[in-house]
Amino acid sequence: GQSLEQPSEVTAVEGAIVQINCTYQTSGFYGLSWYQQHDGGAPTFLSYNALDGLEETGRFSSFLSRSDSYGYLLLQELQMKDSASYFCAVSSHNTDKLIFGTGTRLQVFP
Amino acid sequence: GAVVSQHPSRVICKSGTSVKIECRSLDFQATTMFWYRQFPKQSLMLMATSNEGSKATYEQGVEKDKFLINHASLTLSTLTVTSAHPEDSSFYICSARGGLSYNEQFFGPGTRLTVL
Protein backbone atom coordinates (compact mmCIF):
# COMPACT_ATOMS: atom_id res chain seq x y z
CA GLY A 1 0.00 0.00 0.00
CA GLN A 2 0.88 3.63 0.19
CA SER A 3 1.43 5.79 3.23
CA LEU A 4 2.73 9.26 3.89
CA GLU A 5 3.62 10.67 7.28
CA GLN A 6 3.88 14.30 8.28
CA PRO A 7 4.05 16.06 11.65
CA SER A 8 0.53 16.96 12.73
CA GLU A 9 1.29 20.51 13.80
CA VAL A 10 4.05 23.08 13.62
CA THR A 11 4.15 26.54 15.16
CA ALA A 12 6.45 29.46 14.39
CA VAL A 13 6.63 33.23 14.52
CA GLU A 14 6.48 35.72 11.70
CA GLY A 15 9.73 36.02 9.80
CA ALA A 16 10.97 32.60 10.86
CA ILE A 17 11.81 29.58 8.72
CA VAL A 18 9.88 26.33 9.00
CA GLN A 19 10.53 22.90 7.53
CA ILE A 20 7.70 20.39 7.14
CA ASN A 21 8.89 16.85 6.59
CA CYS A 22 7.19 14.07 4.68
CA THR A 23 8.20 10.43 4.60
CA TYR A 24 6.46 8.09 2.22
CA GLN A 25 6.08 4.46 1.31
CA THR A 26 4.77 3.69 -2.13
CA SER A 27 5.38 1.42 -5.06
CA GLY A 28 6.29 2.92 -8.41
CA PHE A 29 7.05 6.36 -7.02
CA TYR A 30 6.88 9.09 -9.67
CA GLY A 31 6.84 12.41 -7.84
CA LEU A 32 6.11 14.33 -4.66
CA SER A 33 3.81 17.35 -4.58
CA TRP A 34 2.97 19.89 -1.92
CA TYR A 35 -0.38 21.59 -1.44
CA GLN A 36 -1.56 24.35 0.87
CA GLN A 37 -5.09 24.44 2.24
CA HIS A 38 -6.63 27.21 4.31
CA ASP A 39 -9.56 26.35 6.57
CA GLY A 40 -12.69 25.79 4.50
CA GLY A 41 -10.83 26.28 1.25
CA ALA A 42 -9.53 24.20 -1.60
CA PRO A 43 -5.99 22.85 -1.75
CA THR A 44 -3.68 24.93 -3.89
CA PHE A 45 -0.59 23.61 -5.59
CA LEU A 46 2.77 24.74 -4.23
CA SER A 47 5.47 22.58 -5.77
CA TYR A 48 6.42 19.31 -7.41
CA ASN A 49 9.62 17.23 -7.24
CA ALA A 50 10.31 14.26 -9.44
CA LEU A 51 14.10 14.32 -9.13
CA ASP A 52 16.37 14.55 -6.11
CA GLY A 53 17.21 18.02 -4.97
CA LEU A 54 15.77 21.35 -4.09
CA GLU A 55 13.15 23.28 -6.04
CA GLU A 56 12.76 26.92 -5.12
CA THR A 57 9.69 29.04 -5.76
CA GLY A 58 9.87 32.36 -4.01
CA ARG A 59 9.62 31.95 -0.25
CA PHE A 60 8.80 28.26 -0.61
CA SER A 61 11.24 25.49 -1.46
CA SER A 62 10.71 21.77 -1.69
CA PHE A 63 13.28 19.00 -1.41
CA LEU A 64 13.22 15.36 -2.42
CA SER A 65 15.46 12.40 -1.70
CA ARG A 66 14.17 9.39 -3.57
CA SER A 67 16.67 7.03 -1.94
CA ASP A 68 15.42 8.03 1.50
CA SER A 69 11.73 8.22 0.50
CA TYR A 70 11.73 11.63 2.09
CA GLY A 71 10.93 15.17 1.22
CA TYR A 72 10.32 18.47 2.89
CA LEU A 73 8.72 21.82 2.32
CA LEU A 74 10.68 24.84 3.49
CA LEU A 75 8.86 28.06 4.18
CA GLN A 76 10.96 31.18 4.66
CA GLU A 77 10.11 34.66 5.91
CA LEU A 78 6.90 33.37 7.40
CA GLN A 79 3.84 35.56 7.22
CA MET A 80 0.57 35.33 9.12
CA LYS A 81 -1.20 34.33 5.91
CA ASP A 82 0.95 31.19 5.75
CA SER A 83 -1.09 29.74 8.63
CA ALA A 84 -2.77 26.80 6.92
CA SER A 85 -2.57 23.05 6.48
CA TYR A 86 0.14 21.67 4.24
CA PHE A 87 -0.11 18.30 2.53
CA CYS A 88 2.46 16.27 0.72
CA ALA A 89 1.14 13.93 -1.95
CA VAL A 90 2.73 11.18 -4.01
CA SER A 91 2.01 10.20 -7.55
CA SER A 92 2.95 6.82 -8.96
CA HIS A 93 3.77 5.37 -12.34
CA ASN A 94 0.82 3.98 -14.29
CA THR A 95 -1.72 6.01 -12.38
CA ASP A 96 -2.98 9.56 -12.52
CA LYS A 97 -3.96 9.80 -8.91
CA LEU A 98 -2.45 11.60 -5.95
CA ILE A 99 -2.32 10.08 -2.50
CA PHE A 100 -2.23 12.71 0.20
CA GLY A 101 -0.28 12.72 3.41
CA THR A 102 -1.77 13.20 6.84
CA GLY A 103 -1.29 16.96 6.69
CA THR A 104 0.58 19.45 8.85
CA ARG A 105 -1.19 22.36 10.43
CA LEU A 106 1.08 25.41 10.53
CA GLN A 107 0.29 28.22 12.91
CA VAL A 108 2.23 31.45 12.54
CA PHE A 109 2.21 33.82 15.49
CA PRO A 110 3.07 37.53 15.48
CA GLY B 1 -6.12 29.90 -16.23
CA ALA B 2 -6.78 26.39 -14.86
CA VAL B 3 -9.91 27.19 -12.90
CA VAL B 4 -12.16 24.49 -11.52
CA SER B 5 -15.60 25.27 -10.17
CA GLN B 6 -17.96 23.26 -8.03
CA HIS B 7 -21.65 23.64 -7.50
CA PRO B 8 -23.23 23.88 -5.03
CA SER B 9 -20.75 25.20 -2.50
CA ARG B 10 -22.94 24.16 0.37
CA VAL B 11 -25.94 21.85 0.63
CA ILE B 12 -28.12 20.68 3.48
CA CYS B 13 -30.45 17.78 2.86
CA LYS B 14 -32.63 15.32 4.69
CA SER B 15 -31.54 11.77 5.29
CA GLY B 16 -32.52 9.50 2.43
CA THR B 17 -32.37 12.09 -0.32
CA SER B 18 -29.85 12.22 -3.14
CA VAL B 19 -27.51 15.10 -3.80
CA LYS B 20 -25.69 15.92 -7.02
CA ILE B 21 -22.44 17.88 -7.04
CA GLU B 22 -21.03 19.32 -10.25
CA CYS B 23 -17.38 19.88 -11.03
CA ARG B 24 -16.39 21.93 -14.06
CA SER B 25 -13.07 22.87 -15.58
CA LEU B 26 -13.70 26.38 -16.85
CA ASP B 27 -10.79 27.14 -19.13
CA PHE B 28 -9.20 23.82 -20.00
CA GLN B 29 -10.19 20.33 -20.99
CA ALA B 30 -9.81 17.91 -18.14
CA THR B 31 -8.90 14.46 -19.32
CA THR B 32 -9.14 13.18 -15.78
CA MET B 33 -11.09 14.37 -12.78
CA PHE B 34 -10.82 13.17 -9.22
CA TRP B 35 -13.24 13.19 -6.30
CA TYR B 36 -12.07 13.50 -2.73
CA ARG B 37 -13.75 13.53 0.63
CA GLN B 38 -12.35 15.37 3.60
CA PHE B 39 -13.56 15.18 7.18
CA PRO B 40 -12.75 18.02 9.58
CA LYS B 41 -9.06 18.35 10.38
CA GLN B 42 -8.24 15.29 8.30
CA SER B 43 -6.53 14.66 5.02
CA LEU B 44 -8.08 14.38 1.60
CA MET B 45 -9.21 10.87 0.87
CA LEU B 46 -9.42 9.95 -2.79
CA MET B 47 -12.79 8.43 -3.60
CA ALA B 48 -12.58 7.85 -7.33
CA THR B 49 -10.85 8.73 -10.58
CA SER B 50 -13.05 9.77 -13.44
CA ASN B 51 -12.06 9.71 -17.11
CA GLU B 52 -14.24 11.29 -19.74
CA GLY B 53 -16.44 8.77 -21.51
CA SER B 54 -15.55 5.82 -19.33
CA LYS B 55 -16.55 4.37 -16.00
CA ALA B 56 -15.02 5.81 -12.88
CA THR B 57 -12.39 3.87 -10.97
CA TYR B 58 -13.28 3.73 -7.30
CA GLU B 59 -10.85 3.42 -4.43
CA GLN B 60 -11.10 0.47 -2.10
CA GLY B 61 -13.88 0.86 0.40
CA VAL B 62 -15.86 3.42 -1.60
CA GLU B 63 -19.32 2.20 -2.56
CA LYS B 64 -19.83 2.79 -6.27
CA ASP B 65 -23.59 2.40 -5.99
CA LYS B 66 -23.75 5.07 -3.33
CA PHE B 67 -21.40 7.57 -4.93
CA LEU B 68 -22.34 7.73 -8.59
CA ILE B 69 -19.85 9.49 -10.82
CA ASN B 70 -20.52 10.63 -14.36
CA HIS B 71 -17.93 12.28 -16.59
CA ALA B 72 -19.94 13.12 -19.67
CA SER B 73 -17.61 15.70 -21.18
CA LEU B 74 -14.07 17.00 -20.92
CA THR B 75 -15.24 19.86 -18.74
CA LEU B 76 -17.86 18.31 -16.47
CA SER B 77 -17.96 15.55 -13.90
CA THR B 78 -20.77 14.96 -11.43
CA LEU B 79 -20.87 13.13 -8.13
CA THR B 80 -24.25 11.98 -6.85
CA VAL B 81 -24.52 10.91 -3.25
CA THR B 82 -27.51 8.57 -3.26
CA SER B 83 -29.70 8.02 -0.22
CA ALA B 84 -27.52 10.26 1.87
CA HIS B 85 -27.17 9.66 5.59
CA PRO B 86 -25.64 11.81 8.35
CA GLU B 87 -22.37 9.89 8.15
CA ASP B 88 -22.01 11.11 4.56
CA SER B 89 -21.75 14.69 5.83
CA SER B 90 -18.35 15.89 4.70
CA PHE B 91 -16.43 18.28 2.47
CA TYR B 92 -16.36 16.94 -1.08
CA ILE B 93 -13.65 18.30 -3.35
CA CYS B 94 -13.03 17.63 -7.00
CA SER B 95 -9.86 18.18 -8.92
CA ALA B 96 -8.97 18.11 -12.56
CA ARG B 97 -5.88 17.31 -14.53
CA GLY B 98 -5.34 18.51 -18.04
CA GLY B 99 -3.86 21.18 -20.21
CA LEU B 100 -0.17 21.87 -20.18
CA SER B 101 0.54 21.21 -16.52
CA TYR B 102 0.24 17.45 -16.35
CA ASN B 103 1.87 17.13 -12.94
CA GLU B 104 -0.51 19.49 -11.24
CA GLN B 105 -4.07 18.92 -10.14
CA PHE B 106 -6.37 21.92 -9.98
CA PHE B 107 -8.86 21.78 -7.18
CA GLY B 108 -12.39 23.06 -7.02
CA PRO B 109 -13.53 25.12 -4.03
CA GLY B 110 -15.32 22.16 -2.47
CA THR B 111 -18.90 21.35 -1.48
CA ARG B 112 -19.90 21.18 2.16
CA LEU B 113 -22.60 18.50 2.50
CA THR B 114 -24.65 18.31 5.67
CA VAL B 115 -27.18 15.50 5.98
CA LEU B 116 -29.75 15.96 8.72
Nearest CA in chain B to A90: B103
| pLDDT tens sequence across A63-103 | 999 999 999 999 999 999 999 999 999 988 767 788 999 99
Question: Per the CB < 8 Å rule, is A48 touching B43?
Answer: no
pLDDT of residue B99: 62
Average pLDDT over all residues of chain B: 91
On chain A, the residues whose CB falls within 8 A of the CB of B110 are 40-42
The answer to whether the Cβ–Cβ distance between B44 and A87 falls below 8 Å is yes
Residue B44 contacts residue A43 (beta carbons within 8 Å): yes
Q: How far apart are CA A34 and CA A81, in angstroms?
A: 17
Contact B96, B33 (CB under 8 A): yes
Of A19-28, A81-90, A92-101, B22-31, give the lowest mean pLDDT range: A92-101
| E strand spans, A58-97 | 60-65, 70-75, 84-92
Residue B1 pLDDT: 61
| Alpha carbon of A76: minimum distance to chain B alpha carbons (Å) | 23
Question: With contacts defined as CB-CB under 8 Å, which chain A residues touch B41?
Answer: 105
In terms of Cα–Cα distance, which of A42, A43, A57, A47 is closest to A22?
A47
A110 pLDDT exceeds 80? Answer: yes
In this predicted structure, what is the pLDDT of residue B51? Answer: 85
CA separation for the pair A97, B52 (Å, rounded): 15
pLDDT of residue B103: 66
